[in-house]
Structure 1
Amino acid sequence: MKKTLKESGVGTPINRVEGKLKVTGMAKYATEFPVKNKVYAQGINSTITKGEIISVDTSEAEKVEGVLAVITHKNAEKLKTFEEEMPELSTPSKAPVLQSSKVYYYGQYVGVVVAETFEQAQYAARLVKIEYKKDPDPTFQFDGSRSKAYTPEAQEDYLRGNIAEGLADADETLDETYTTPIEHHHPMELHAVIASWENGKVTAYASQQIVEDSIISISDTFQIPKKDVRIISAYVGGGFGSKLYTERHVILAVMASKMLGRPVQMTVTRQQMFTNTGMRQHNEQRMKIGAKKDGALTALSHETLSHTSTFQEYQEPCGMMSKMLYNVPNNQIKYRLIPMNFQTPCAMRAPGEATGSFALESAMDEMAWKLKMDPVEFRIKNDTQVDLGADKPFSSRLLIECLRIGADRFGWDDRPKEPRSRQKGNWLIGYGMSAASRNAPYQETAAKVILELEDEKVFATIQMDATDIGTGSYTIIAQTAAEYLDIPVEQVTVELGDSNFPITPGSGGSWGAASYCNGARAACESAITKLKENRNIDKDEEISVAELLKKNQLNRYEAEGTVAPSEEFEKHSVFSFGANFSEVWVDKDTGMYRIKRMVNVGSAGKIMNPKTAYGQMIGGLTMGAGMVLAEQTKVEPNFGNFITRSLADYHVPVNLDMANIDVIFLPEEDKIANKMGIKGIGELGITSVAASLANAIFNATGKRMRDLPITPEKLINAPLEPGVT
C-alpha cells in the first residue's frame, strides 16, 4: 500500500527515499562510478616534519609491472600557488601540491605513483627512495611555542564594555583554562576521487560537500575556466567538515590524469586521513567570568590559543557562543594562533561551538557552584532576547523553554545538590546540564523542477548541485516537492551533487536543510505560477499540477527558482537553541564511568522529518560523548608525527558507550529565518554535550575536569574541588 500525501509530506517521519539504494549497494559513491580505462594513484608521504627534499630515486618503483608514472616535485605540472603569505583557508581555496622541495609537516604529499592496479600503485609507492635535509628546529609542541603566537586576520578580537571593570564589580569571579585536543573527522567513507582530464576539460567524481567551491578550487589551481570543470558528488559517506575543502588528493588525481591521458582514481587511506584531510586544532581556552550574588553576569572573557600550519591560516571560532548567548554587559573574545609544522586544521563537527561550548558551559557551571545557584536557574537569569555581540534581536529564541522542558523531562529536581553525595554500590551518580546554541544560516540557492505527466499522474524531478552527506537531504527535498506540488512523495525524484545542476551552497554549517528545501519550494512555486500565467488562471485558484499541464497542453515542463535571505533575515540574528541533560555513573575506585541517560531539547524551527532529524541529533550527541570519552590525536613528541594512526587507536564511541537518549523538538514558527521556517540542527546536536557530561562528572565526584578527553586516569588523579567533602 502506497503512502498518501498526508503521510509523506513535510513534517512527517517517512523513511529515507534513498534508503533502499544504500542498503542494496546501488547508491554510487565517488569511486563506484564505472569509468573506462581507469588507473590508480597512491600518494607518498613525507617522513620528516620540516626540511627539504635533496634527492629522489624512483628507478625501482618505475620497474614494477603496471607502473605508469611516478610524479614528484621534479616532474609535476606547474600549478597556481598562493600569492600571499599565510592566506586564510576557505572552502574554495587553491590546493597546490608537489610544487617545491620544501616539507612543512610529517605526512605531506611528496609524490604519487600511478599504476594499472591499486595494489601495484601501493607497492611501488613504498619503493620510492627520498632523502631529506631535516630542519633542526621544527615547531610541533604547544608548550614552548607560545611566544610565536599572533592575532589571526580571520578572527579579530572583540570587546564590548570593560572587562576589568566588570570583574571588579563582581561578587564572585572565575578564572580557569579548558583544553581540547587535536581530533580527526573520520567519516566512514574515505576521501576519494576519480578524475579525468580530456581535451582541457576536467570531470571529477569526488567526495565533496560543496560542489561549486570544489570547481573554483580546481579551476584556480590549474588556471582553467570554471566552465571546463564538472564535479559529481551524488552521495557522500560523511564529511563532518573535512570534505568542505578540495584536498590535495583531488589535485594529484587531476594532475596525473592530465599527464597520462587516462582517468585516475585516488583513495586516501585511513592512515592518510590523519595527515592529509584536515583536523580540529588543539585549543586552550581561558575563561574569566564575573557575577553578582543574585547571579547576574558582570563580565565574560573568552581567550583562545590554537595552532595553524606554517603556510595557511585557520582559526576555529571558539568564542562565538560566548559573544552572544548570555546577557553580559562586559564581554571580550580573543584569538591567538601559533604556526606549527602540522597540516592546516579545518572546520570539524560544529567548529567553534563544539569546543567553545565545552569551555563556556563548564565555566557557567563552575560559577553556579560558586554562587550556590541551580545551574538551570543561573542560565535563565542571564537570558537575553538580543544578540549583544551582533547588536541585533534574535528572530526567535526559546532557550528558556528548552531549559525548563528539558529539566522537567529529565527529573532535574531530583539532582543531588551536593557533589559526591549520591552513591549506589561502588558507583557515584551525578547529573549535569548545559545550554546550546548554533547559528542557523540560510544561503542563496537555486533549484530546477522537471514536471512530467504520465497516465494522469504528475512525476517531478528536483535537480540541484546540493550534496547529501548522510543527513537525509534527498528525503526532505522530496518531501518539500511533494508538499508544494500536492503529489505523493513516491512521484518525486531528487537528483543531487552534479555541477551541471543549479548552484547551491552545498552541505556544511547547518545551512543545508533551510537552503535546499526553500530552493526546491521556489522551483515548484515558479512552475505553478508560470503555468497559471500562461492560461490566465488566478494565482490563488486551487488547481492540480496535472490539470495545469493539461490546460497548457504539455506533458513536460521545466522551471527554476532561486531563494536568498530577506531584508528581515539580515536585520536579525538567526539561531537554533537547545539544552542538554546527562546522568553519569562513576566507579569511585577505578575512575571508569558510564553515561546512563541523556535528554536533549532543541528549538530548531520547522522539523522537516522527525525521523531523520532524530538520527542527526543522535549522531551529534554521540560525537559530543566522543569528545569526553576518548577522542584525541596524540603527537609523537620527538618527531612530530601522529601516534594515533588508525581507528584501532583513535577511539570513537560505540553502542555500549552510549546512553538511553531522549530527544525533544519544540514546535517553533520562525518565518524571519526563511519562508518555510527551517533552521539547521546538524551541529546543534554536538554543541555543549561535552560540558553537560563534564558537569555531571563533577556532580558525581566533586572533581572538575577541564581537559578533554576525560580518561579514568585523569579522573582518579584529579583533586576534589575546594568546598567538596
Structure 2
Amino acid sequence: MNKFKASGVGEAINRIDGRLKVTGMAKYASEFPVENKLYAQGINSTIAKGEIISVDTAEAEKLDGVLAVITYKNAEKLNTFDEEMPQLSTTTIAPVLQSPKVNYYGEFVGVVVAETFEQAQYAARLVKFEYKQDSNPAIDFDESRSKAYKPNENSDYFRGDMAAGMAEADETLDAIYNTPIEHHHPMELHAIIASWENGKVTAYASQQMVEHSTIAISDTFQIPKKDVRVIAAYVGGGFGSKLNTERHAIMAVMASKMLGRPVQFTVTRHQMFTNTGMRQFNEQRMQIGAKSDGTLTAMSHETLSHTSTYQEYQEPCGMMTKMLYDVPNSEIKYRLIPMNFQTPFAMRAPGEATGSFALESAMDEMAWKLKMDPVEFRIKNDTQIDLSENKPFSSRLLKECLRIGADKFGWENRNMKPRTKQEGNWLIGYGVSAASRRAPYRETSSKVILELDGNKVYATIQMDATDIGTGSYTIIAQTAAEYLGIPVEQVTVELGDSLFPLTPGSGGSWGAASYCNGARAACLNAISKLKQNRNIGKDEDIAVAELLKTNNLDKFEAEGTATPSEEFKKHSVFSFGANFSEVWVDKDTGMYRIKRMVNVGSAGKIVNPKTAYGQIIGGLTMGAGMVLAEQTKVEPNFGNFITRSLADYHVPVNLDMANIDVVFLPEEDKIANAMGIKGIGELGITSVAASIANAIFNATGKRMRDLPITPEKLIKAPLEAGLVS
C-alpha cells in the first residue's frame, strides 16, 4: 500500500476514506447497527389522479411480524402547506398520508411496518386500495400546453431590446431543442433509520444537506429543531436527489413515533423513479441574431417545462444564456405546466446541463450559418463583464480554455463542411462547446481538535458537511494538513452530523470552496489563539507541536467560520470550461461512437487533481448519457413511467465512453475566496451534450435538437439545407 506524506493542498493523494469503503467499514444510512429496529415498505398509488375511497388492510395485518399499516386514515397529523403551489426547496416540509387525494401514479399512499424487510415487502402487496379515478389526468405534455403559466414576476429577464437586436442582424436563428425527463440514479438507494424517543428524533439518513434536513423534519412534525439530529456520515451519490427531505424519511419518523421503535425505510430502485425527484422535460426555444462578422446582436431563451400539481419547481435553463456571451439584447423566459407527476427537482448542474445543450447547439448552428469556425465565433463574443448582473467576473479564462482545448484536440484537422471526413463506412465529425457554472462560496464553520502525542500533533476536523462521493473527506484533510503543517495521515475528518459546526451541505458546486475555507479558518484560529496565549507574534513561524508544548497543553479545540468577502459580492464568480468531441457515425445504420473527448477547465485552485479528475470524468459520462440513451418515458394511458429500472433506463457503460483527456488550467482567483477554490462537480457535465451533437452534425450534416440522439432519430433526420449525401 502506498503511503503518502503530502502535507496539503494541490497533491493528487488517494482518498483517505478509500480503505474504509473497499473494506465495508464506511457506514451508509441503512448500515448503522441500531438495535430493535423495524422495517418499513412504502405502498404506491396505481392511478395518476383521483382519490382513495376505501382501504382494506386486514389481510396484511394478519401476517406474522406486521405491526402496522399506516394510511391517511390513521397517520399522524403533520404540518401541511398553507399555500396552493409552494416552491420546492431543500428545507420544504414533506407532509405525507394526510389526505385521500392522489396527485400522481406512484405517489406514496401507505406504508407497512414489520419486524423484517421481507415481511414488510410482502405485506405491502396485500393492502388493497379502491380509487375514484379522475378520467382526465394531465399526463400528456402537448395536451397540457394551454395550462402553462408564468411561475412568478421574476421569471422573465430582459436586457436591451430583443426585437431591435434581431432586426439589425444579418443572420438569424430560431430553433427548438428538447431534453427529456431524466432520473438521478446514485448507487446508494435513498434510505433512513429513524428513531423517535421522548419527543426527540435521531435519523441516519442519506441526505446531502443535514442541517436542511433537520429543518424539514422539525417543521413537518412541528417540533423544535434542536430536538432533531440527522447523521449522514457517508452518502453513496446524490446528484441532487438527496438535497431535500423526501416523504419516505417522514414516514419512517412517523412510524417510529407511532410504534416506539426505530424504523428503517429503504426506497426501492423502482420507487426512485416515482418518489425521489427527477429532471424536468424542457422544451427550449432559442433565437439568435448576429452580424455577418460574427458579432452577436440578440439572444433569446424561452423554456417550457412542467411541475407537479401541488408544488412548484423550475429548472433554470437560461442561466448560461444570460451571462456567457457579449450580447446587448437578451430575453430569458420560463413557463410551467402543472401535471400529474411528482415534483421535479435539481439534477446535476440544474439549468446548465440542459440549458447548455440548447445554447451551445444554437451557437454551433449560427456559426455554420455565418461560415465561421465555431471556436472563433465563441471567442469573438467573449466578455469579461457579466451583463446579467452588471458585475466583472472575478476571473474568466474561457478563451484560454477554448484555444488550449482546440490545440490539444487537433481542431485544425476539422473540416468545416459536414460529411467530408470519412473512414470506411464511418463519417467522422468534430464538435465543440463552451461551459460555465457559477462557483458559489457559502459561510462555513468548522471545529479543529488538536492532540499532542509525544512530538506529533494529531488533528480532528468536524463539520456537518457531507461527502457524496466527491472526495470531501480527502480535500478537507489536505487543507488541515496544509495550514497546520502536519502530514495528512495525522488528520482525521468527521462529517455529516447535524451536531457539528454548520456548513451549507453538499450541492451546487459550493462544497470544496466552502468546506476547505471553513477548515482553514478553524486551523488558523487555533494557531492564532495558541500564539496569543503566550504572546507569540502572529507572523512568527512555529510548529503546532511547539505551540501546544509552550501552552502546556495536550489537547486544544478551536472553531472558525469562513465567509464571503465584500469583493466576492462585487464580482460574478464562475468556473469555465470547453468540451471537444470526436464522433464516428455509421452512415447506413446511424449507430455512432464517441471516440475522443477533451475537457479543459478553469476552476481556480485544484485541491486534489485526482479527485477533481474523477468529478470531471463522472460529469462527462453523465453528459454523454444525455445524448446516448438517458430518458424517462411516460406511459400515455396511465401516467406511469415505462422506464422504471436500470434494465430499461439506460446509462453509459465503459464501452460507450471515449478516450478522455482532462486539462485544468492554472488559475489564481483570490476574489472567489481566500484559497482560490472554485467548484467543478457540475462544470464537468455542462455543455457535453452539445459538443457531441455538434460533432454529429459535422459528421453527418444532420442537426439533432432532441435528446437522446438515437440511431433511429439520426437515420430519419433530414440533411441541413444545401448539403447532399
TM-score, normalised to structure 2's length? 0.99
1:249 matched to 2:251? The reply is no
CA contact (8 A) 1:154 1:315 kept: no
**CA drift at 1:487:** 0.1
Q: Distance in 2 between matches of 1:65 and 1:164?
A: 71
Q: Distance in 2 between matches of 1:234 and 1:723?
A: 58
Sort the Cα spacing of 1:199 and 1:333 in 2 relative to 1 into closer, same or farther, 3 A: same
Aligned to 1:697: 696
Per-residue CA deviation, residues 148-187 of structure 1 (Å, 9 max, x unaligned), is 0001128510001111110000000000000000000010
Aligned to 2:449: 450
Aligned to 2:172: 173
Aligned to 1:605: 604
CA contact (8 A) 1:88 1:154 kept: no
SS of residue matched to 1:240: coil
Q: Distance in 2 between matches of 1:274 and 1:125?
A: 18
1:722 matched to 2:713? The reply is no
Amino acid at match of 2:19: K
CA contact (8 A) 1:155 1:315 kept: no
Aligned to 1:377: 376
Q: Distance in 2 between matches of 1:452 and 1:709?
A: 55
Q: Which runs of 4+ in 1 moved over 6 A?
A: none
Q: Distance in 2 between matches of 1:441 and 1:113?
A: 42
Q: Distance in 1 between matches of 2:552 and 2:153?
A: 55
Per-residue CA deviation, residues 125-154 of structure 1 (Å, 9 max, x unaligned), is 000000000012110111011110001128
Q: Distance in 1 between matches of 2:475 and 2:104?
A: 42
More divergent stretch after superposition (137-146 vs 478-487): 137-146
Q: Distance in 1 between matches of 2:512 and 2:65?
A: 46
Q: Distance in 1 between matches of 2:701 and 2:351?
A: 28
Q: Distance in 2 between matches of 1:425 and 1:155?
A: 53
Q: Distance in 1 between matches of 2:632 and 2:597?
A: 26
Q: Distance in 1 between matches of 2:657 and 2:3?
A: 34
Query: Structure 1 stretches of 5 or more lacking a match?
Result: none
CA contact (8 A) 1:155 1:335 kept: no
Per-residue CA deviation, residues 626-671 of structure 1 (Å, 9 max, x unaligned), is 0000000000011110000100000000000000000000000000
Aligned to 2:590: 591
Aligned to 2:343: 344
Aligned to 2:562: 563
**Percent same amino acid at aligned positions?**
83
Per-residue CA deviation, residues 556-587 of structure 1 (Å, 9 max, x unaligned), is 00000001111100000000000000000000
Per-residue CA deviation, residues 519-572 of structure 1 (Å, 9 max, x unaligned), is 000000000000000000000000000000001100000000001111100000
1:144 matched to 2:143? The reply is yes
Q: Show the 5 A alignment for 1:119-158.
A: 119-153=118-152, 156-158=155-157
Amino acid at match of 1:225: P
Aligned to 1:9: 8
CA contact (8 A) 1:180 1:708 kept: yes
**CA drift at 1:455:** 1.5
CA contact (8 A) 2:4 2:13 kept: no
Q: Show the 5 A alignment for 1:634-645.
A: 634-645=633-644
Aligned to 2:659: 660
Aligned to 1:94: 93
1:493 matched to 2:505? The reply is no
Aligned to 2:706: 707
Q: Show the 5 A alignment for 1:192-231.
A: 192-231=191-230
1:413 matched to 2:412? The reply is yes
Q: Distance in 1 between matches of 2:717 and 2:135?
A: 37
Aligned to 1:354: 353
Per-residue CA deviation, residues 63-122 of structure 1 (Å, 9 max, x unaligned), is 011000000000000000001110000000000000000000000000000000000000
Q: Distance in 2 between matches of 1:164 and 1:64?
A: 69
1:85 matched to 2:122? The reply is no
Q: Show the 5 A alignment for 1:509-658.
A: 509-658=508-657
**CA drift at 1:363:** 0.0
Q: Distance in 1 between matches of 2:611 and 2:452?
A: 30
**CA drift at 1:506:** 0.2
CA contact (8 A) 2:7 2:486 kept: no
Q: Distance in 1 between matches of 2:477 and 2:154?
A: 38
Q: Distance in 1 between matches of 2:590 and 2:24?
A: 43
Q: Distance in 1 between matches of 2:558 and 2:82?
A: 41
Aligned to 2:471: 472
CA contact (8 A) 2:517 2:674 kept: yes
Aligned to 1:676: 675
Sort the Cα spacing of 1:313 and 1:155 in 2 relative to 1 into closer, same or farther, 3 A: farther
**CA drift at 1:416:** 1.5
CA contact (8 A) 2:352 2:437 kept: yes
Q: Distance in 2 between matches of 1:69 and 1:144?
A: 41
Q: Distance in 1 between matches of 2:574 and 2:299?
A: 21
**CA drift at 1:593:** 0.3
Q: Distance in 2 between matches of 1:290 and 1:378?
A: 13
Q: Distance in 1 between matches of 2:4 and 2:115?
A: 51
CA contact (8 A) 1:172 1:291 kept: yes
Q: Distance in 2 between matches of 1:680 and 1:14?
A: 19
Amino acid at match of 1:264: V
CA contact (8 A) 1:177 1:284 kept: yes
1:114 matched to 2:117? The reply is no
SS of residue matched to 1:126: helix
Aligned to 1:288: 287
Q: Distance in 1 between matches of 2:339 and 2:30?
A: 33
Sort the Cα spacing of 1:322 and 1:89 in 2 relative to 1 into closer, same or farther, 3 A: same
Q: Distance in 2 between matches of 1:156 and 1:144?
A: 23
Q: Distance in 2 between matches of 1:465 and 1:672?
A: 25
Q: Distance in 2 between matches of 1:670 and 1:458?
A: 31
Amino acid at match of 2:408: R
Aligned to 2:41: 42
Q: Distance in 2 between matches of 1:154 and 1:192?
A: 37
Q: Distance in 1 between matches of 2:186 and 2:390?
A: 37
Sort the Cα spacing of 1:206 and 1:490 in 2 relative to 1 into closer, same or farther, 3 A: same
Amino acid at match of 1:655: N
Q: Distance in 1 between matches of 2:60 and 2:424?
A: 63
Q: Distance in 2 between matches of 1:332 and 1:187?
A: 35
Q: Distance in 2 between matches of 1:690 and 1:326?
A: 19
Q: Distance in 2 between matches of 1:709 and 1:365?
A: 18
**CA drift at 1:2:** 7.8
Amino acid at match of 1:475: T
Q: Distance in 2 between matches of 1:617 and 1:632?
A: 22
CA contact (8 A) 1:462 1:494 kept: yes
SS of residue matched to 2:624: helix
Q: Distance in 2 between matches of 1:272 and 1:156?
A: 32
Q: Distance in 2 between matches of 1:718 and 1:636?
A: 25
Q: Distance in 2 between matches of 1:560 and 1:468?
A: 20
**CA drift at 1:8:** 4.2
CA contact (8 A) 2:518 2:561 kept: yes
How many equivalent residue pairs? Answer: 724
Amino acid at match of 2:286: M
**CA drift at 1:397:** 0.2
Amino acid at match of 1:27: A
CA contact (8 A) 1:8 1:14 kept: no
Q: Distance in 1 between matches of 2:654 and 2:135?
A: 45
Amino acid at match of 1:156: S
SS of residue matched to 2:265: strand
Per-residue CA deviation, residues 658-704 of structure 1 (Å, 9 max, x unaligned), is 00000000000000000000000000000000000000000000000
Q: Distance in 1 between matches of 2:133 and 2:46?
A: 10
Q: Distance in 2 between matches of 1:534 and 1:576?
A: 41
Amino acid at match of 1:35: V
**CA drift at 1:369:** 0.0
Sort the Cα spacing of 1:598 and 1:2 in 2 relative to 1 into closer, same or farther, 3 A: closer
Amino acid at match of 1:333: I
